[in-house]
Amino acid sequence: MSKRDLLSIYDLRSEEIGDLLGKAFKLKSERKYLDIFKGKALGMIFEKPSTRTRVSFSTAIMQLGGLAISLEPENLQRRRGESIHDTAVVLSSYLSGLVIRTFKHCDTEEFAKCSTIPVINALSDREHPCQSLADIMTIMELHKVKTTERLKEEIKIVYIGDGNNVANSLLAISAVLGLSFTLISPQKYLPKKDMLDRAFKYASSSGAEIKITSDVNEVKNADVVYTDVWISMGYESEKEDRRKVFMPYQVNEELLKKASARCIVLHCLPAVRGNELTAEVMDKYGYSIFTQSENRLHSQKAVLMHFL
């Protein structure tokens, strides 16, 4: 069987996401150490900082019997100009999988093309698929929804903020699973047209109800309000402009009055209190947000078992 990569949520079919999350819930409830990856190593290249993704993947492979090898970009010969091709071919002869966080999404694609081992996107400028798997797991867990099929009937998900990588993957997983998903973003920061077109194409067959808007009133009746930083890694020079444009999109107590009474708040983290959400909201919804970050561990174990 040829190897498969997880570069985008669109690399997974709806039933596979359901199975993968079922496995993640089982792993979470059993909390057993397994040795299915005994003698195997997972390489991890992080070209940008990471706390959750780096540590949850390292812990996940260790708890499944394998070893994580952190390949710091500054210590790889890539820094001195070795090509992605040569790096990927060499790493494929040692490792069983490669987790990679990059600036350019096309670099994840090139690594995948040149590797004979599965490549997992740990965040690029376009997508963060591992994050959105943990997000859906958290929504099901906290809203007590047993299957992904029931999610559409029962849950309205609203993302508010920057239409960047995290939003793109949440949009994608909603489109694939057929969920009710509203994305609220200032016009200038809506997801790119190719991401929107792809989501609507999937929605036409999955039955997803997707709304893209700049109107904050569309938070109405949300069961989940999700946000991400306004200044993603690599966009630091746009800090001032972005703060001005995004301020009306802050998740605060006033905004949450529009949501449903049972609404939970999610954030992929790291958070900037006072920007995309207030300190009060972060405190009040800490339980849902930190459950979400814990679920990165369980869902990524399922990802490793599915792809490696």
The answer to whether 292 is a known catalytic residue is no
Catalytic entry in 5, 126, 268, 300: 268
Catalytic entry in 105, 267, 296, 298: 296
The answer to whether 273 is a known catalytic residue is no
Strands 97-101 and 41-46: parallel
Within the chain, where are the H helices? 14-30, 52-63, 84-92, 105-114, 129-142, 148-154, 165-177, 193-206, 239-246, 253-256, 279-284, 286-307
Give residues 166-225 in contact with ligand NVA (rule: CB under 6 A): 166
How far is residue 271's CA from residue 275's CA, in Å, rounded to a whole number? 8
* Interacting residue with ligand NVA among 165, 168, 185, 292 (CB under 6 A): 165
> Is residue 268 near ligand CP by the rule CB under 6 A?
yes
> Is residue 164 near ligand NVA by the rule CB under 6 A?
yes
Q: Which is nearer to ligand NVA, 165 or 288 (CB)?
A: 165
The CA distances from residue 96 to 69, 239, 291, 305, in Å, are: 11, 39, 29, 11
Phi-psi region of 65 (alpha: psi -120 to 50; beta: other; left: phi over 0): left
The answer to whether 228 is a known catalytic residue is yes
* Interacting residue with ligand NVA among 14, 221, 232, 291 (CB under 6 A): 232
> Is residue 58 near ligand CP by the rule CB under 6 A?
no
> Which region among 33-41, 48-56, 81-89, 254-262 touches ligand CP (by CB under 6 A)?
48-56
> Is residue 233 near ligand NVA by the rule CB under 6 A?
yes
The answer to whether 31 is a known catalytic residue is no
> Is residue 268 near ligand NVA by the rule CB under 6 A?
yes
The answer to whether 5 is a known catalytic residue is no
Give buried/exposed letters for 221-238 (b at 16+ CB in 10 A, else e): ebbbbbbbbbbbbeeeee
Q: What are phi and psi of 76, to 5 degrees?
A: -95, 155
* Angle, CA of 158, 159 and 164, to the nearest 5°: 155
The answer to whether 268 is a known catalytic residue is yes
**Site residues, ligand NVA (CB under 6 A):** 123, 164-166, 228-229, 232-233, 268
Q: Using CB under 6 A as the criterion, which residues of the chain lie in contact with ligand CP when the complex forms? A: 50-54, 123, 131, 268-270
Residues designated catalytic: 101, 128, 131, 228, 268, 296
